[in-house]
Amino acid sequence: MEESQYTMTQAEYETAKAWVHDKCSNLWAVDGAGCPGCRKRSWMLPSTLVEVRGYARGNVFVPGIVVAYFVLECKNCGHTLFINAEMAGIKRPVVGKEGCDE
């Protein structure tokens, strides 16, 4: 897996995968709910971390805090679930202005 600032490391990917299997097994279990969009049970876990920003009518909106997510994507209909990466155990240092680094 190629790694960049947007791509999870192998260890992060394994953490995400374990979290999904622990918390979201009803999405693909035979007796589970499946995809909220189409009820199929075929998902993929891309290795990219994403962020969500507020919509600013075409302008760049940079909030004070940006939250990293990883996604689960339904292979059938494209329904996408966003999962807070930090809540799932993927913690990266915040890099910013002097005095703001964690």
C-alpha 7/C-alpha 43 separation (Å) is 19
Give the DSSP H or E segment for 73.
strand 68-74
Query: DSSP assignment, residue 20?
Result: H
Residue 94, strand partner residues: none
The pLDDT assigned to 64 comes to: 65
- The torsion angles phi and psi of 23, rounded to 5 degrees, stand at -100, -20
pLDDT tens string 32-81: 889 999 999 999 999 999 987 777 787 777 666 778 899 999 999 999 99
Q: 96 falls in which pLDDT band (50, 70, 90)?
A: low
| The pair of three-digit structure tokens given for residue 7, joined into one six-digit string | 């791509």
The pLDDT assigned to 73 comes to: 95
4 vs 98, which has greater pLDDT? 4
Domain ranges of the chain: 10-84
pTM: 0.76
The pLDDT assigned to 1 comes to: 43
